[in-house]
């Protein structure tokens, strides 16, 4: 097994299928299957997994067991367990469950923000500040991470184009209320590589070490093209979803996240170490099939197999 | 209709579905449907279309009508009509049919070359020289173009990795026998963006104006990621296939070319003008469905639609 410590890794792949994937399918994966699946993902070398969302179970019944899932997942070694929280109440629950880190989405688009959380972006940032204050009140030895993501940063299904100046202005405001990092999310699969390069370059210039990762959807097949552009702009953290399951229930037409297996192949083929074992990753798809019978699972690498003689970056270094 | 002249175009998209696509499906598209389809592709603004292959009809019966298809297609205005030719006999037929340009594949992998054309790469380059000599013997006013493509340039399903020095050495030898340009083909979908950037940068350094375009397959979902890297390396011509139909019958496991609709969306979204009308392009898929009933057609953009408020690069310039 490849060592999970960050010094042997060039890029962090943050697995979001147990949250972004599962929240977008109608059926609920049984809790015991979630436990096994998350353990398999960690066993494949994924160093960060977003395991659920502390939202109202009335809104997303698939996420009702998130507390239990987090409490089990944090027992795994060498993996950071994340949970999405939409507000302060969710953050309280997440911190109580022992999540290593919370991630809070803030919509760059006012219309998407109102529809998604019933707040303007500015109001959502005030709430973000409260979550940071709550984190600061916790005992120093167990301070969880707080990251935020700007959703619809590359376009909105309701508003269309989202001004890049708005995105950067909101990102700066989010960093100022005390989050550890601010990432950019192409929630609606509207981004293109030129835009990705521009926005992440500006984000890094404005936020420095607080500039976070990229969360791309593959709605229009541009996901990995956008990854190449983000890598050029210095991004080293990417969200992705095993089997490409997932999407945004409040962004009609937005299909799944970029596929973890295809992303890891891209990175390792380019010589960038992820610490992830592709064979074990592909094997973890079986648990999704079992836990979500009949659900569509995507991914080219799992279908085509690895190229003859393929040597991942991690093994090239070791050789 | 967008003007077809090259001065209003940043990138040339060369449509290969009527050749690379049709040769890889079992059923043959009726000749009359091919005529209508190619006219629709030209009508959508595609400025270059590879309409068939002058191979033995015993080997590829789907290509048996290529002479007739070329003779009809060259009547269309504002579009360069290409045909693939595997050898001198094929080139004679192509020139006789009035094709504007021929394209000749040479395998960088010795094993793939033997299997595909029964010649070593070096023997194939001798044949290439004969085709260039034949072209030179034609009346000066109707000299067709001769381009060559190095297939398996990014890896071979039989041999695995193909040394980059071999690829560049063969490309230089091909340029020396008199072809107009030498492109690189990821026939087997094994390429990655780092390799694409390296190889095209070297190709351009060695061949200058004779450095040709990129032909990518999407076997492992990396096609558009490779396009971004090739753009960085200065490539301005890309092969692609409407609906992603196609593949290589001699490279097992290699699925279709990159999807023209998704490529054009990528380029136009990035601000690069293609001269292509995306709506008309998507509409041309209906002719494929009609001419190849039951055949799988791919593409994310056609499924998801254009993003709200999307303005292609060509219209941004005009505004």
The ipTM is: 0.94
Output the pTM of the full model: 0.95
Task: List, run by run, the mean pLDDT of 10-residue segments along chain A (319 residues).
Answer: 64 97 92 98 98 95 97 97 97 98 97 92 98 95 94 95 97 98 95 98 98 96 97 98 75 75 98 97 97 90 93 78
* Distance (Å) from the alpha carbon of A130 to chain B's nearest alpha carbon: 34
User: For domain A6-318, which architecture applies?
Assistant: Alpha-Beta Barrel (3.20)
Contacts of B216 in chain A (CB under 8 A): none
Contact B270/A at CB under 8 A: yes
Preferred mutation among A164, A225, A244, A308 to probe B, highest tally of B CBs within 10 A: A225
pLDDT value at residue A261: 97
Contact A233/B at CB under 8 A: no
Other CB atoms closer than 10 Å to residue B207's CB: what's the count? 18
pLDDT value at residue B318: 53
For the stretch B192-234, pLDDT in tens is: 999 999 999 999 999 999 999 999 999 999 999 999 999 999 9
Q: CB distance A265–B220 less than 8 Å? A: yes
**Which tokens is A302 given?**
């799992």
Query: What residue of A is the nearest CA neighbor of B189?
Result: A307
Q: Is A23 exposed, middle or buried (0-12, 13-18, 19+ CB in 10 A)?
A: buried
* Distance (Å) from the alpha carbon of B39 to chain A's nearest alpha carbon: 26
A54 near A23, Cβ under 8 Å? Answer: no
Contact B262/A at CB under 8 A: yes
Residue A266 CA, distance from chain mean position = 17
pLDDT value at residue B250: 56
Q: CB distance B304–A219 less than 8 Å? A: yes
Cα–Cα distance for residue pair B132/B305, rounded to 1 Å? 44
Mean pLDDT (whole number) for B262-271 = 98
pLDDT value at residue B256: 87
A291 near A34, Cβ under 8 Å? Answer: yes
Instruction: Give the list of residues 6+ apart from residue A53 with CB closer than 8 angstroms, or none.
Output: A19, A23, A60, A63, A66, A83, A84, A85, A86, A90
CA atoms within 13 A on the CB side of A192: 21
pLDDT value at residue B29: 97
Residue B10 CA, distance from chain mean position = 17
Which of B159, B161, B307 is nearest residue A155 as measured by Cβ atoms?
A: B307
pLDDT for B3 beyond 50: no
CA atoms within 13 A on the CB side of A254: 30
pLDDT for B237 beyond 60: yes
* Distance (Å) from the alpha carbon of A98 to chain B's nearest alpha carbon: 37
pLDDT for B2 beyond 50: no
Contacts of A255 in chain B (CB under 8 A): 300, 304
Q: CB distance B227–A225 less than 8 Å? A: yes
For the stretch B10-20, pLDDT in tens is: 999 999 999 99
Mean residue pLDDT across chain B: 93
B248 is catalytic: yes
DSSP, collapsed to helix, strand or coil, labels residue A117 as helix
Contact A319/B at CB under 8 A: no
pLDDT value at residue B85: 97
Query: What residue of A is the nearest CA neighbor of B311?
Result: A161
Nearest alpha carbon to residue B85 among B143, B146, B152, B22: B146
Contact A78/B at CB under 8 A: no
Q: CB distance A195–B307 less than 8 Å? A: no
Task: State percent of chain B over pLDDT 70.
Answer: 94
Contact B198/A at CB under 8 A: no
* Distance (Å) from the alpha carbon of B146 to chain A's nearest alpha carbon: 31
Contact B307/A at CB under 8 A: yes
Contact A308/B at CB under 8 A: yes
Q: How many CB pairs under 8 A join A and B?
A: 125
Q: CB distance A266–B190 less than 8 Å? A: no
For the stretch B277-286, pLDDT in tens is: 999 999 999 9
* Distance (Å) from the alpha carbon of A89 to chain B's nearest alpha carbon: 34
Contact A195/B at CB under 8 A: yes
For the stretch B50-91, pLDDT in tens is: 999 999 999 999 999 999 999 999 999 999 999 999 999 999
Q: Annotated catalytic residue: which of A13, A248, A258, A276? A: A248
Q: Annotated catalytic residue: which of B25, B70, B248, B263? A: B248
B312 near B278, Cβ under 8 Å? Answer: yes
């Amino acid at each position: 097994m490849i060592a999970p410590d960050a010094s042997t890794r060039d890029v962090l792949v943050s697995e979001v299928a147990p949250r972004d994937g599962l929240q977008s399918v109608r059926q609920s994966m049984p809790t015991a299957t979630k436990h096994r699946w998350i353990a398999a993902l960690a066993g494949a070398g994924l160093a960060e997994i977003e395991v659920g969302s502390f939202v109202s179970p009335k809104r997303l019944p698939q996420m009702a067991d998130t507390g239990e899932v987090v409490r089990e997942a944090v027992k795994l070694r060498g993996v950071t367990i994340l949970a999405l929280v939409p507000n302060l109440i969710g953050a309280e629950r997440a911190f109580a469950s022992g999540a290593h880190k919370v991630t809070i989405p803030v919509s760059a688009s006012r219309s998407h923000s109102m529809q998604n959380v019933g707040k303007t972006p500015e109001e959502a940032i005030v709430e973000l500040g409260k979550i940071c204050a709550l984190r600061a009140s916790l005992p120093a030895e167990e301070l969880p991470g707080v990251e935020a993501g700007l959703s619809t940063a590359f376009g909105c299904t309701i508003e269309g184009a989202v001004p890049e100046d708005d995105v950067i202005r909101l990102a700066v405001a989010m960093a100022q209320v005390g989050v550890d990092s601010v990432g950019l999310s192409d929630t609606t699969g509207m981004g293109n590589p030129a835009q990705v390069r521009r926005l992440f370059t500006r984000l890094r210039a404005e936020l420095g070490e607080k500039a976070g990762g990229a969360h791309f959807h593959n709605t229009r097949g541009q996901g990995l093209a956008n990854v190449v552009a983000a890598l050029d702009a210095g991004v080293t953290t990417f969200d992705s979803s095993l089997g490409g399951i997932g999407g945004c229930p409040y962004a009609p037409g937005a299909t799944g996240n970029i596929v973890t297996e295809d992303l890891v192949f891209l990175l390792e083929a380019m010589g960038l170490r992820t610490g992830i074992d592709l064979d074990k990753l592909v094997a973890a798809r079986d648990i999704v099939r079992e836990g979500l019978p009949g659900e569509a699972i995507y991914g080219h690498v799992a279908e085509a197999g690895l190229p003859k003689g393929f040597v991942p970056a991690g093994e090239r270094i070791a050789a």
